[in-house]
Amino acid sequence: MSLVIFEPERRRMNIYGYCRISTAKQSIDRQIRNIKAEYPTAHIVQEAYTGTSIFRPEWLKLYRILKSGDTVVFDSVSRMSRNAEEGFTLYEDLYHKGIRLVFLKEHHIDTETYKKALSGSIAMTGTNVDFILKGINEYLMALAKEQIKLAFEQSEKEVADLHQRTREGLLTARLNGKQVGRKRVLDLKRKKPEKPSRLSVPIARPSAAHWMTWSA
């Protein structure tokens, strides 16, 4: 009788594409299109009109179901977080949980790139040189982390600069007397033309002298 060995079923690795817009004027279609072009089977998660709010219900739902081996694809690092400190903390949290992160516009900070940088440390030799090699390895790890931080900081700065330029543009337009925003449409009800009033023409009554003439 042969022994049958059942191998444990391997968990399916899921690929998610996270897309987010902050205002109603932005289009989410571009992000979806970019992600689908490289990852056609990605499950798209859409988040709309979050603005500067850190509360993102769709992201929280996705975060809760992520498992080691899953992949999350972003069109850019700014879609993951607008805040540099928050973004880097989230990045490290997901990395240590085994989640693969992909940034289409910043592939140099993908978790795979980060992992290679950390694993590319120089092997120890068992000699006095190891003291120097350990310092080099720590430097390489710090450099990899710094690149990720810089990417989030640059994204945060670009958003802040955009908001500043928008405010300055609106102020300049107001100072120049230009209409800012939608023009108010006044619903003026046309007054109906008044009907001409009937003029009462006084009827001349015959005078007493008139009656006397007729009676004569």
Domain contains 185: no
pLDDT at 100 over 90: yes
DSSP string computed for 34-101: HHHHH-TTPEEEEE---TT-S--HHHHHHHHH--TT-EEEESSGGGT-SSHHHHHHHHHHHHHTT-EE
pLDDT at 211 over 50: no
Q: Write out the residue range of the structural domain in which residue 157 sits.
A: 15-122+133-174
Mean pLDDT of the 183-200 span: 55
DSSP, res 27: -
At residue 36, the pLDDT reads 97
Cα 95 to Cα 72, 88, 99, 104, 117, distances in angstroms: 11, 10, 5, 17, 13
Residue 17's DSSP bridge partners are 44, 73
The count of other CB atoms within 10 Å of the CB of residue 117 is: 17
**3-state class (DSSP) for residue 135:** helix
Domain contains 62: yes
Using pLDDT thresholds of 50, 70 and 90, give the confidence band for residue 215. very low
Using pLDDT thresholds of 50, 70 and 90, give the confidence band for residue 39. very high
- pLDDT higher for 199 or 111? 111
* Structural domain total, the chain: 1
For the domain that residue 147 is a member of, what is the CATH number?
Answer: 3.40.50.1390
Using pLDDT thresholds of 50, 70 and 90, give the confidence band for residue 145. confident
pLDDT at 214 over 50: no
- pLDDT higher for 206 or 60? 60
pLDDT at 213 over 70: no
